C-alpha cells in the first residue's frame, strides 16, 4: 500500500514493540531502514528484508544524534523520514512523582524529539524535503490522572510539532503527529501487570496492535499525506469519545 522505495527512514526507540513493527513495515515498503535505539538496534536491523542499518541512539544526547545522522548519510545519503518514536513512561501523580523522574520523562519524550528534528532538518534539506512524524498519545489529548509526567510531555510535544511544522514548511519538510490509543506493549501495564488504562468500556474495547498504529504512522510519513503538515492523526479506538456506558 505504501511505497518508500529509495527513501531513507530513521526510527527512534526502534527496539520496542511499536518500533519493531515500524521497522518491519518500512522495510517491506522498500525503505532504507535505520533502527535507532539504546540497545537491540543491530539485531533488529539484521532481521529486516531490505537495506538496513542499526545505530546506537540515546535521544537525549546531541552527540548521539549527530553520530546517528552522520552514519545514516554515510550509508544511504540524506534522510527522508524521521519517526520520533522513543518514549519513557513513569507512573506518578502531580503530588508524588519524583522530580528527577518527571524531568527524565520530559527529557526523553519532548527534548529527545526536539533534538531529533534539529539533527535531521539539514539532512532533509539536502534531500529536497522530508517527513517527520512524532508519535504522540491520547495522553496528549485528554487528562491522564496518574501519568502527569507522560501527559505533560505529550501535550508539550503537540506545541513542538506545530512550531516545527511552520518553521520547516518552506523547506518542504512536513511535521505531523499520530496519537495512538492504548497499544498492546509493556507501557500499557504497571509493574504488577495491571492495565494502566482499562479499555473494556471503550467503543473499540481492546488495545491496538503495534501493526495497526504502524500503518497510521506510515501513512503520515508517505506521499499520500503530502498535503498535511501540523496535523494530528488519532487512532485511539474511540478513547477520546469516552466510554459507552
**Per-residue DSSP letters for 27-63?**
HHTT-EEEEEESSSHHHHHHH-SSSEEEEE--TT-HH
In the residue annotation, 150 being an active-site residue is answered as yes
Average pLDDT for the chain: 96
CATH value at residue 65 = 3.40.50.720
pLDDT value at residue 107: 98
pLDDT of residue 1: 78
Residue 202 lies in a domain: no
> pLDDT grade, residue 141 (50/70/90)?
very high
In a domain, 200, yes or no: no
> 29 in a domain, yes or no?
yes
Predicted pLDDT of residue 156 = 98
Question: What's residue 186's pLDDT?
Answer: 82
Whether 30 is covered by a domain: the verdict is yes
pTM of this prediction exceeds 0.85: yes
**Mean pLDDT, range 200-215, rounded to an integer:** 96
Q: Identify whether 189 is part of a domain.
A: no
Residue 219 forms part of a structural domain: yes
Q: Rounded mean pLDDT of 21-27?
A: 98
Q: Which of 41, 88, 150, 189 is catalytic?
A: 150
How many domains is the chain partitioned into structurally?
A: 1
Q: In what order do the strands lie in the sheet with 8-11?
A: 52-56, 32-37, 8-11, 81-84, 130-135, 173-180, 232-235
Q: Does residue 46 belong to any structural domain of this protein?
A: yes
pLDDT digits (tens, 9 = 90+) for 42-93: 999 999 999 999 999 999 999 999 999 999 999 999 999 999 999 999 999 9
In a domain, 160, yes or no: yes
Whether residue 187 is predicted with pLDDT greater than 80 in this model: the reply is no
Instruction: State the pLDDT at residue 189.
Output: 84
Average pLDDT over every residue of 17-32: 98
Q: Which domain holds residue 165?
A: 8-86+112-139+152-181+209-233
Question: C-alpha grid cell for residue 222?
Answer: 508517505
What does the pLDDT read at residue 120? 98
Amino acid at each position: 500500500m505504501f511505497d518508500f522505495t529509495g527513501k531513507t527512514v530513521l526510527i527512534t526507540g526502534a527496539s520496542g514493540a511499536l518500533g519493531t513493527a515500524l521497522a518491519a513495515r518500512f522495510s517491506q515498503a522498500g525503505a532504507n531502514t535505520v533502527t535507532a535505539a539504546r540497545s537491540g538496534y543491530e539485531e533488529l536491523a539484521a532481521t529486516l528484508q531490505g537495506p538496513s542499518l542499526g545505530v546506537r541512539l540515546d535521544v537525549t544526547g546531541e552527540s548521539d544524534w549527530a553520530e546517528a545522522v552522520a552514519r545514516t548519510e554515510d550509508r544511504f545519503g540524506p534522510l527522508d523520514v524521521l519517526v520520533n518514536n522513543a518514549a519513557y513512561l513513569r507512573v506518578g501523580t502531580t503530588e508524588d512523582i519524583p522530580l528527577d523522574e518527571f524531568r527524565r520523562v520530559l527529557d526523553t519524550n519532548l527534548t529527545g524529539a526536539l533534538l531529533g528534528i534539529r539533527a535531521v532538518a539539514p539532512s532533509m534539506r539536502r534531500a529536497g524535503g522530508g517527513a517527520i512524524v512524532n508519535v504522540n498519545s491520547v495522553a496528549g489529548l485528554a487528562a491522564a490522572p496518574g501519568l502527569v509526567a507522560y501527559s505533560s510531555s505529550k501535550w508539550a510535544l503537540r506545541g513542538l510539532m506545530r512550531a516545527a511544522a511552520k518553521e520547516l514548511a518552506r523547506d518542504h519538510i512536513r511535521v505531523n503527529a499520530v496519537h495512538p490509543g492504548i497499544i498492546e506493549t509493556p507501557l500499557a501495564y504497571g509493574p504488577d501487570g495491571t492495565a494502566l488504562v482499562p479499555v473494556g468500556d471503550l467503543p473499540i474495547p481492546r488495545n491496538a496492535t503495534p501493526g495497526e498504529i504502524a500503518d497510521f504512522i506510515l501513512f503520515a510519513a508517505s506521499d499520500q499525506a503530502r498535503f498535511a503538515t501540523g496535523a494530528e492523526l488519532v487512532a485511539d479506538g474511540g478513547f477520546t469519545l469516552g466510554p459507552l456506558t
